[in-house]
A and B are shown apart, each in its own frame.
Chain A
Amino acid sequence: MGRGSAKSVSAILSRGTMRPDRASPLVILTGVGRGPVLWLTLLLIAAMFLMPKAEPLMRWLFPGDPRPVYTRASFAALTLAHGELVALSSLAAAAVGIGLGIFVTRENGREFAAMVSAMAAIGQTFPPVAVLALTIPVLGYGAAPAIAALSLYAIFPVIEATVAGIFAVPASVREAAQGMGFAPRDVLWKVELPLAFPFILAGLRNAVIINIGTAAIGSAAGALSLGSPIIEGLAASNPAYVLEGAAVVALLAMTVDRCFAWFEACARPGGTGRP
């Protein structure tokens, strides 16, 4: 991709360094500074490893609960398993979604645009719990049905973003690329995808954040996730477990969301052009 991409990569790297002299932690936590990524990450790590230490707090919040901290699995293991569900399903959704988005914006794929968009929309309106119920007989219990349900759920925002991004490339730019002698493959890789990149990144961000919240239902199919304490808490009428699971899910979602925001900000001014 020549100098353009090399530049944007170096811009990302050079802008990626955190500045320690930024502002007070309070300002950063409220999201005014550029540094919430760091603080949210620290909070998340604390929640992953120090949950047993929160027993006095939980005991105070839920008096009368004999075992107010979930211990069947460590929160570190739960978070990693949760992250794995999200990562695998998002990767699958990205591959399929970006691929389909590219396909329906090619000349000979354009006629499928409406159909693909409709199918993706149906995929998203289908409740993930229902997808779980339908896929368990085929895929069995465990992570596989959860990943299938989450992938299906996340494809729609990725396709929409990819198509929007590619259609947003000015006609004059595409015409110039053709007129200069770019092969269709070069128009896609050197012009359309770099210019659509901010859009695609925004779509991926949506998909990943939605999946972090939704992945908790994976535990209903027997997959290990941060949904495990929530589901056990619901089954055993132990609201402390529900709170613990939900709090870590929320922290994970916020951390990842901030990471995306930071990455988008880095990617923008360097290479990919669009205001």
Chain B
Amino acid sequence: MIELRNVSKNFGGVPAVYDFSLKIESGAFFVLIGPSGCGKSTVLRMINAMIRPDKGEIEIHGQDIHAMEPERLRRGIGYVIQSAGLFPHWTAADNVLVVPRLLKWSKVKCAARLDALVALLRIDPALLDRYPRQLSGGQQQRIGVARALAADPSIILMDEPFAALDPVSRAALQDELRAIHAHSGKTIVFVTHDMDEALRLATRIAVMNSGRLIQTGAPASVLQAPADDFVRDFLGGDALQLRLLDLVPVRSLTKAGKTGTTETIAAEASLKNALNLMLARRRSSLCVKDENGARLGEISLSDIVARHDAT
């Protein structure tokens, strides 16, 4: 668990973070979101002691982080930044193994870990001998994520890691990260200003503005009950209802029984996907199938609307 208590930080007399308290449970995919300059990156960088707060305490697993040697603390926390920040004079493989080598792992253990990470992140092994400048942005950040995971830290900090990527690479890496989080139970603290990204990934969201925490909660509860107008606007104003649909799987509104339609949708797709398909195909209902292609039943437009009324 990560806990920040009454943390404040000024930069040159300007408050970046003010009286900030937050608890991040172990195993959470915790997304800090807010407009540029709201202090979310500062909060993230205080967790691995890259920035030292002026006031307040920060604890990880009940231990004051400032009682630890910062290098030792950081070697136990994965860190990914926007521009990947790979070491340009080392190959991709050397970059991935930076922290294991700092921790003086044996060659055999490093090699085994590299193989595991290549498989986990679906890295093309041919890329491993290349230098960062020979990789695309998406490939670089995939290596950057592998580097953060290399020493198997229980906490990973990510500072807008996918903001500079093209939409295809970004979506692929988001999927990868979500799967890794689901399997590993690692605590991920993720900073972004992209609401769609936050909703795709988060188990918990904290909305920040002007150095303060405005609202925190599960994505659906924040979407359903924005604390104030700032949060409502930031969540997308008019499009807020559509975003809400994005969080609910089709499976939850599927009714068993015969269907009168041939258009099919996966049970794990979101209601937003379903609505989109209905609009595209001019249908008011869709046939729902599970991942094996077995027919589960039907989802109808009226059920989506009715569910929405209920919330």
Partners in one complex: yes
Chain B residues whose C-beta falls within 8 Å of the C-beta of A173 in the assembled complex: 85-88
Q: How far is the CB of B75 from chain A (nearest CB, A)?
A: 4
Q: Complex Cα distance A170/B85, Å?
A: 8
- Cβ of B162 under 8 Å from chain A: no
Write out the residue numbers on chain A whose beta carbons fall within 8 Å of the beta carbon of B86: 173, 176
CB of B83 within 8 A of chain A? yes
Residues 57-87 of B contacting A (Cβ, < 8 Å)? 70-76, 79, 81-87
Judge whether B48 and A179 touch: CB under 8 Å: yes
Query: Are A179 and B87 CB-contacts (below 8 A) given A2-B94, A3-B94?
Result: no
- In Å, the complex CA distance between A183 and B84 comes to 20
A66 and B181 CA atoms in complex are apart in Å by 91
Residues of A within 8 A of B307 (CB): none
Given A2-B101, A4-B94, A181-B74, CB of A176 within 8 Å of CB of B133: no
Determine the interface band of chain B, counting residues with CB < 8 A from chain A: 20 to 34
Question: What are the residues of chain B within 8 A of A195 when measuring CB–CB?
Answer: 88-89
- Taking a contact as CB atoms under 8 Å apart, the answer to whether A180 and B89 are in contact is no
B75/A191 in contact, CB under 8 A: no
**A275 interface residue per 8 A CB criterion:** yes
A173-B87 Cα distance, complex, nearest whole Å: 6
Are A4 and B90 closer than 8 Å at their CB atoms?
yes
Q: Are B50 and A176 in contact (CB under 8 A)?
A: no
CA of A4 to CA of B89 in the docked complex: distance in angstroms?
A: 7
Q: Which of A175, A273, A274 touches B81 (beta carbons < 8 Å)?
A: A175
- Is A182 in the interface zone, CB < 8 Å from B? yes
Alpha-carbon distance A217/B76, docked complex (angstroms): 59
Answer yes or no: A81 CB below 8 A from chain B CBs: no
| Bound CA span A191–B12, Å | 29
Within 8 A of B (CB), among A154-213: 170, 172-173, 175-183, 186, 191, 194-195
Instruction: Name the one of B82, B83, B87, B101 contacting A177, with C-beta atoms under 8 angstroms.
Output: B87
Q: Find chain A residues with CB under 8 A from B89 CB.
A: 4, 8, 191, 194-195, 271-273
Closest B residue, CB atoms, query A271: B89
In the complex, the answer to whether B74 meets A273 with C-beta atoms within 8 Å is no
> Using Cβ atoms and an 8 Å threshold, which residues of chain B touch A183?
71
11 contacts between A and B (CB under 8 A): A4-B89, A170-B88, A175-B81, A179-B79, A179-B157, A180-B98, A180-B102, A181-B70, A182-B102, A183-B71, A275-B133
